[in-house]
């Protein structure tokens, strides 16, 4: 039986091993990775799928995480990586992770989710490239694979420019990375300078 739940610190080693085997050794060269470096996932949006075996400990079957980004000047989430253990692919685990992540993001009031992935897979969850035409990722990527789902209709209307990691700027000029928008009135969002993918 598969259970979807929050990732815990005890899942980290298994998550990294799963990502290595599911996505290969080049996974850290992806453009999306540049936006995740130094960041933590958005609150409540680091999910795992656990395979609850009757005769042994639960095993990690899948992982997905979502991250705060700025789409031009519009706050949004970036989804990824999504990966399922090779032995469980095709069993609906990826779909279950996606549906739970979308439901949680919607419930938390986020306006839109972006990702870079195969349209042939993500269209079933409502993702489309039609609202990302004015947006760009740092580094190498295919524009047809830059997809988005608006959780609030029109959330990405007018979103244009580079997708960037958030960088909170304190009023005294000090920089604090990874502070979420709206968590403190003393902070505002700015765009981090990002190196291009290798
Ligand atoms: C892509 C991935 C997350 C899907 O998870 P999953 O649990 O295997 O998928 P589900 O069981 O929910 O869905 C299976 C369906 O998705 C389809 N599918 C899976 N990967 C696909 C892809 N890259 N493109 C198009 N369709 C895909 C399958 O053909 C199947 O179609 P069907 O329902 O018509 O039979 C998983 O296969 C995986 O981890 N792949 C390697 C890592 C990866 O590529 N991640 C990024 C995806 S862009």
- Residue 167 tokens read as 């960088």
User: For 69, phi and psi rounded to 5 degrees?
Assistant: -140, 170
Query: From ligand 1's centre to the CA of 115, what distance in Å?
Result: 15
Q: Which sequence spans correspond to the domains of the chain? A: 2-191
**Terminal CA-CA length for the chain:** 40
Looking at residue 176, its pLDDT comes to 41
CATH fold group of domain 2-191:
Aminopeptidase (3.40.630)
Ligand 1, atom 24: closest residue by C-alpha = 121
Tell me the C-alpha distance between 131 and 86, whole Å: 32
pTM of the model as a whole: 0.87
43 CA distance to ligand 1 middle (Å): 25
Spatial separation of the C-alpha atoms in residues 67 and 33, rounded to whole Å: 11
Q: What is the pLDDT along the chain (198 residues), one digit of tens a residue?
A: 999 999 999 999 999 999 999 999 889 888 889 899 999 999 999 999 999 987 888 999 999 999 999 999 999 999 999 999 999 999 999 999 999 999 999 999 999 999 999 999 999 999 999 999 999 999 999 999 999 999 999 999 999 999 999 874 433 434 444 333 333 332 333 344 333 332
């Amino acid at each position: 039986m598969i259970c979807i739940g929050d990732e815990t610190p005890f899942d980290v080693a298994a998550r990294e091993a799963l990502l290595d085997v599911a996505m290969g050794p080049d996974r850290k060269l992806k453009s999306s990775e540049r936006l995740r470096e130094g960041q933590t996932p958005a609150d409540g949006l680091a999910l795992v799928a656990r395979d609850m075996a009757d005769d042994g400990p639960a095993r990690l079957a899948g992982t997905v995480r979502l991250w705060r980004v700025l789409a031009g000047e519009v706050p949004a989430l970036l989804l990824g990586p999504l990966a399922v253990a090779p032995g469980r692919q095709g069993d609906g685990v990826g779909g279950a992770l996606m549906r739970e992540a979308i439901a949680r993001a919607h419930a938390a009031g986020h306006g839109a989710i972006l990702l870079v992935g195969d349209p042939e897979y993500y269209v079933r969850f409502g993702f489309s490239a039609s609202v990302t035409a004015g947006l760009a990722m740092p580094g190498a990527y295919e524009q047809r694979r830059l997809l988005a789902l608006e959780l609030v209709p029109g959330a990405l209307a007018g979103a244009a420019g580079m997708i960037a990691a958030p960088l909170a700027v304190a009023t005294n000029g000090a920089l604090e990375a990874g502070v979420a928008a709206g968590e403190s009135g003393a902070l505002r969002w700015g765009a981090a300078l990002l190196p291009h993918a290798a």
